[in-house]
Every structure is written in structure tokens, then in C-alpha cells.
């Protein structure tokens, strides 16, 4: 058994064996403990209605393999007499593993908080959903940046000099990706100013559809014909946007024409007929009806009314009913609708 006393790196073999055994034992112990606690937490979360215990169970289950290994190696190294530099790096690696695990846990906690707020805000204020997601992204970015700087600091890198260098390099990067940054800041403008939110029906130039997604670079709209239209956020904000979802009522301007042969009494009755047709609709509000102009082949009447709902289908239903009533009343009053006609006068002179 003399080989047990053979020295490697200032430590006999038996110490190395104890260290290896302790590393395995600690790792197995941590692994089993993690599994038991995660299973108990999962069972407990099934019995309750709150979501916080689900979060705790998920955090325990998501504990990283490398964290357990780093802690096991750190505990096992305490049985050895190693060079100060080696002990320093073993301790640093354990701390870095803790930082990385902390970042993972922090990211999951942020995701949990964001998802809870999204569920609460989705029905009451869809516009707040995009803002919450954006703040969550910024929170994650800040968390990961802080952890990254802490890791670099523990590795002995001068963080102050690095930050100063990043500031100079950041200017060059910003110039190279200015279009992307422009879309990013435009997305923040959309999220904070809320010219539209998910679910709004909008018209952008010649394109129209329902907003499906507002991202950090692009916004996606589902058109009426089914395809998805993708806009960069900068282009979208530079366009003229008409948001029909925020229309409280719809103003409708329509016109009809009757023949020139219509008697004066019938012409005077037409505005009243139109008014009665509109007022018969509960979802409509009459504004005006007038004999507007003499056309090329018709006497033109213009009328205006409001549909009390912004819904397009409701507007079409109201307009259909009004048109049918006007058609029926004109038939009863023997008023003829005009259509393009020409009258030719032939002069039969003597030959």
C-alpha cells in the first residue's frame, strides 16, 4: 500500500482518493437533495391555487448541473494542500457558477412576473402588454449585464477600463447598426405612446389588417386576405396610421340619384324618406339629408348618418337595412332611381 503515500502536487494519493470520494459524495448528495425538494415542491404546488409555489418548484428543478459540480469540487478541494493560485481559481469558479445560477434564477423570476402581469393586462389594457414585455427585456438585459461584469471582476479583469473601452467601441457599433437601433427606439416609442396595440385594426398607406405582434424591430399585421405583413418599426412610425379600433362611431356619407322626370312634390319628400329610414335603425344616428346637385343624368341627394358602433360588420348591416327601406319607399312613391342615359334629338329636315 505504499502507492497510497506517493505524492502528487504535494499531496499523497490517499488524500486524492478522499478528495475524489468527497466530490462524488457531495455531488450525489446535492443531486438527491435537489430531486427530493423539487418533487416535494411540485406535489405541494399541485395542491394550491397560487402560482408562486410553482415558481419555487421550477427554480429548484432548474438548478444547474455545473453549479452542483462546482460546489462539489470546491468542498473536495478543502482536503488537499494546493498552491494558493489553484485554490484561488477553484474558489473563483465556484463563485462564477453561483453568479450564473443566480442569473438563471433571476431570469425565470422576471419571466414569471411578466407573464402574471401580461395575463392581468391582456383583457383590460392590451397596450400595456407590449410595454411590460419591453420592460422585462430591459430588466433581463440589465441583470445579465451586471452578472457578466461581476464574473469579469472575479476573473481579475479591470471592469472600469473595460466599460470605458466599450463606451468608445459602442459609438462605432451604434453607427454600424443605426438602422437596427432606430427600429429598437421606435419600438419603445410604440410601447410608451401606444398609437396602436395588439388586436387593433389599422390602415397603413395601402395596407390594412389587425395588429398581431409588436416586436423590438418589426410589427406584424394580419391582412384581411390572410397573409402576414411585416413592417419595420421605423417605417411604421414614419407612415400615416389610421386606427379603426379607437373609432367610437362611424360617420357615413352616401348619395343617391333620381331621374329628372321626378315631380317637385316627390323631390321634397325624399329627404324625409331617407331620414325615416335611418331613424328606424337603433344603431344609427341621423345627421342630415339634402338635395345636393344637378348631375349629368340625375338629381343628386346626399345624406349623412352615424353608426354608433365601430364594428365594420355592424356598419354594413345598418347600411343594408337603410338601402332596402329606401328602395321599398321609392317603389311605393313611384320614384325612379337614375342611371346613365342619353337622349338623342333627331332633326328630320326637308330634303
Domain ranges of the chain: 2-174, 194-244, 250-333
Q: CA triplet 253, 328, 255: central angle to 5 degrees?
A: 20
pLDDT at 1: 59
Helix (H), strand (E) at residue 280: none
pLDDT at 214: 83
pLDDT at 190: 78
Q: What cell does 151 get?
A: 464574473
Residue 23 CB neighbour total at 10 angstroms? 19
pLDDT at 262: 93
pLDDT at 269: 95
pLDDT at 129: 61
Q: Quick check: helix, strand or coil at residue 290?
A: strand
Domain over 250-333 is classified CATH 1.25.10.10: no
> Consecutive 10-residue runs of the chain (351 residues): their mean pLDDT?
66 78 84 81 74 75 79 80 77 84 84 73 58 71 82 75 62 59 75 81 89 84 90 86 85 93 94 95 94 93 93 90 95 92 72 52
pLDDT at 168: 56
Model confidence pLDDT, tens digit, residues 261-305:
999 999 999 999 999 999 999 999 999 999 999 998 899 999 999
Report the candidate in 108, 191, 102, 206 with the shortest Cα–Cα distance to residue 154.
102
pLDDT at 76: 78
Question: What fold is seen in the domain 194-244?
Answer: SH3 type barrels. (2.30.30)
Amino acid at each position: 500500500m505504499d502507492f497510497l503515500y506517493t505524492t502528487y502536487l504535494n499531496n499523497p494519493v490517499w488524500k486524492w482518493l478522499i478528495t475524489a470520494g468527497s466530490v462524488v459524495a457531495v455531488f450525489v448528495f446535492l443531486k438527491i437533495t435537489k430531486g427530493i425538494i423539487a418533487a416535494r415542491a411540485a406535489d405541494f404546488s399541485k395542491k394550491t391555487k397560487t402560482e408562486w409555489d410553482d415558481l419555487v418548484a421550477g427554480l429548484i428543478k432548474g438548478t444547474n448541473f455545473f453549479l452542483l459540480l462546482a460546489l462539489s469540487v470546491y468542498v473536495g478541494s478543502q482536503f488537499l494542500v494546493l498552491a494558493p493560485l489553484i485554490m484561488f481559481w477553484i474558489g473563483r469558479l465556484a463563485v462564477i457558477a453561483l453568479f450564473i445560477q443566480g442569473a438563471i434564477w433571476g431570469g425565470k423570476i422576471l419571466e414569471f412576473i411578466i407573464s402574471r402581469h401580461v395575463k392581468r393586462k391582456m383583457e383590460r389594457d392590451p397596450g400595456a402588454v407590449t410595454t411590460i414585455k419591453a420592460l422585462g427585456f430591459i430588466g433581463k438585459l440589465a441583470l445579465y449585464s451586471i452578472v457578466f461584469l461581476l464574473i469579469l471582476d472575479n476573473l481579475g479583469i479591470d471592469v472600469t477600463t473595460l466599460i470605458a473601452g466599450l463606451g468608445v467601441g459602442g459609438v462605432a457599433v451604434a453607427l454600424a447598426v443605426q438602422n437596427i437601433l432606430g427600429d429598437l427606439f421606435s419600438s419603445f416609442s410604440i410601447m410608451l405612446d401606444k398609437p396602436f396595440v395588439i388586436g387593433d385594426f389599422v390602415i397603413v398607406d395601402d395596407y390594412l389588417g389587425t395588429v398581431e405582434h409588436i416586436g423590438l424591430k418589426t410589427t406584424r399585421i394580419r391582412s384581411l386576405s390572410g397573409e402576414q405583413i411585416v413592417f419595420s418599426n421605423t417605417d411604421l412610425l414614419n407612415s400615416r396610421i389610421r386606427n379603426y379600433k379607437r373609432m367610437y362611431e362611424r360617420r357615413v356619407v352616401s348619395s343617391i340619384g333620381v331621374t329628372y322626370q321626378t315631380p317637385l312634390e316627390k323631390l321634397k319628400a325624399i329627404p324625409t324618406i331617407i331620414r325615416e329610414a335611418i331613424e328606424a335603425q337603433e344603431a344609427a344616428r341621423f345627421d342630415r339629408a339634402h338635395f345636393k346637385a344637378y348631375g349629368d343624368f340625375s338629381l343628386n341627394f346626399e345624406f349623412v348618418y352615424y353608426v354608433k358602433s365601430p364594428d365594420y360588420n355592424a356598419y354594413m348591416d345598418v347600411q343594408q337595412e337603410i338601402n332596402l327601406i329606401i328602395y321599398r319607399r321609392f317603389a311605393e312613391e313611384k320614384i325612379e332611381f337614375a342611371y346613365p342615359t342619353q337622349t338623342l334629338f333627331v332633326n328630320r329636315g326637308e330634303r
